[in-house]
């Protein structure tokens, strides 16, 4: 019963986050939905995914979202979509029924989460997928260098911002022409 | 958990596909860049659910977990880079509307 409530509240929270006209409530509802999703993952016995979801997605990405929204000063700006809202609900409800019909009509074996397999997460991650860890580290470094490249100052702005004490340096064009 | 109606991997597969649909809606029909990226985040949540449902179905939940953990790490890097690009775009052009941005020249 708790699991059903969590799954339905996850869908409702994500729908509210999508349909919210303001950006800040949308980001906060996304964070709440991440918390609910992590509880669902815990109940599915996927505890490592739950831990990563609640720390990275609900924590880090929410902070990034809110800081990006506040930096762009769009906190009170309303977001418009191309389709009107009354078109969303019929399409969404028919899509939900279509998905339920499609999944239930697939000839798949019965089963809840009984067959979890003999492997543990640690064996898989550090044994079979050790090379992927190096790839993850490379991706994190790419992200760091990418942000450093986006926000670096141009050279002329950096020399202007260095202060009046550095005016006598030979790199500034005015002083070199006067001499 | 035995009396829960949705506690099986078929239901979670359906829920994941519904969440994917919500993300696609936000990506396709919204104009604000932050909102489009929020749709991408919703999309990624659906992908995680589908991965775990598939792992439960095949009896390889540990492998599915490791894939999803990798995906979450990549998602964090993606969010950092994409949101920094969005802030950079706003600082340079003063708008986040993709229609106005597509009309800009130069």
Q: Can you tell me the ipTM of this complex?
A: 0.91
- Do both A10 and A93 map to the same domain? yes
Residue A64's CATH number: 1.20.120.1200
Average model confidence (pLDDT) across chain B? 87
Interchain pair B14, A81: CB under 8 A: no
pLDDT at A161: 63
Please tell me whether residues A56 and A140 are part of one structural domain.
no
Asked if B101 reaches chain A (Cβ–Cβ under 8 Å), the answer is: no
Average the pLDDT over B59-78 and give the result.
89
Where b means 16+ CB within 10 Å and e means fewer, A159-170 reads beeeeeeeeeee
Task: Determine the residue of chain B that is closest to A19 in CA distance.
Answer: B26
Which of A83, A113, A38 shows the shortest CA–CA distance to B60?
Answer: A113
- Residues A51, A134, single domain; the answer is no
Q: Is A70 part of any domain?
A: yes
Domain spanning B9-103: which CATH class is it, in words? mainly alpha
Q: Please state, in angstroms and rounded to a whole number, the distance separating the CA atoms of residues A65 and A28.
A: 9
Contact B52, A44 (CB under 8 A): yes
Question: Which chain A residues are closer than 8 Å to B90 by Cβ?
Answer: 71-74
The Cα of A76 is separated from the nearest Cα of chain B by a number of Å equal to 13
Write out the residue range of the structural domain in which residue A18 sits.
1-97
The yes-or-no verdict on residue B40 having pLDDT over 90 is: yes
pLDDT exceeds 60 at position B98: yes
Q: Which residues of A touch B88 (CB under 8 A)?
A: 150-151
A8 with A74, same domain?
yes
Statement to judge: residues A82 and A127 lie in one domain? no
Claim to verify: residue A140 and residue A82 sit in the same structural domain: no
In a domain, A43, yes or no: yes
Within this chain, do residues A51 and A93 fall inside the same structural domain, yes or no? yes
The answer to whether residue A114 sits within a structural domain is: no
* Domains contained in chain A, number: 2
Most B-contacting residue of A143, A148, A154 (CB-CB within 10 A), to test interface: A143
Residue A17 included in any domain: yes
pTM: 0.81
Give yes or no: residues A79 and A2 share one domain: yes
Q: Which of A72, A117, A139 sits opposite B90 (nearest CB)?
A: A72
pLDDT at B96: 84
Q: Are residues A11 and A67 in the same domain?
A: yes
A176 in any annotated domain? no
Within-domain flag for A177:
no
Window 51-80 of B, Cβ < 8 Å to A: 52, 55-66, 68-70, 72-80
Tell me whether residue A140 is in a domain. Answer: yes
The pLDDT profile of chain A, 179 residues, written as one tens digit per residue, is 888 899 999 999 999 999 888 888 999 999 999 999 999 999 888 888 999 999 999 999 999 999 998 888 755 566 666 666 777 888 888 888 888 888 877 766 665 565 556 667 777 777 777 788 888 888 889 888 888 887 777 666 666 666 555 454 444 444 444 44
pLDDT confidence tier of residue B50, bands split at 50, 70 and 90: very high
Judge whether A171 lies within some domain: no
- DSSP code, position B30: B
Cβ-based contacts of A109 with chain B (< 8 Å): 57
Q: According to the model, what pLDDT value does residue A120 have? A: 78
Q: Is the pLDDT of residue B94 over 90?
A: no
Q: Does the beta-carbon distance from B86 to A80 stay under 8 Å?
A: no
Tokens of B18: 């519904």
Q: What pLDDT is attached to residue A77?
A: 60
């Amino acid at each position: 019963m708790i699991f059903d409530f969590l799954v339905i509240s996850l869908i409702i929270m994500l729908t509210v986050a999508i349909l919210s006209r303001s950006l800040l409530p949308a980001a906060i509802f996304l964070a709440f939905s991440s918390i609910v999703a992590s509880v669902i993952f815990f109940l599915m016995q996927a505890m490592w995914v739950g831990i990563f979801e609640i720390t990275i997605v609900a924590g880090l990405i929410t902070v990034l979202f809110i800081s990006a929204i506040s930096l762009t000063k769009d906190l009170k700006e309303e977001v418009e979509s191309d389709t009107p809202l009354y078109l969303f609900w019929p399409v969404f409800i028919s899509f939900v029924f279509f998905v339920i019909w499609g999944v239930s009509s697939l000839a798949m074996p019965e089963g809840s989460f009984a067959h979890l397999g003999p492997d543990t997460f640690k064996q898989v991650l550090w044994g079979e997928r050790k090379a992927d860890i190096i790839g993850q580290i490379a991706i994190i470094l790419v992200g760091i260098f990418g942000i450093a490249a986006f926000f670096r100052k141009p050279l002329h702005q950096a020399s202007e911002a260095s202060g009046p004490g550095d005016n006598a340096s030979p790199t500034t064009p005015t002083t070199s022409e006067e001499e | 958990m035995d009396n829960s109606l949705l506690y099986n991997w078929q239901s979670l597969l359906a829920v994941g596909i519904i969440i994917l649909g919500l993300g696609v809606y936000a990506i396709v029909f919204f104009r604000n860049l932050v909102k489009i990226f929020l749709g991408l985040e919703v999309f990624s949540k659906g992908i995680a659910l589908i991965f775990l449902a598939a792992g439960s179905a095949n009896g390889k939940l540990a492998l599915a977990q490791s894939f999803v953990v990798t995906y979450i790490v990549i998602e964090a890097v993606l969010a950092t880079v994409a949101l920094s690009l969005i802030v950079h775009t706003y600082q340079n052009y003063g708008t986040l509307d993709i229609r106005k941005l597509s009309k800009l020249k130069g």
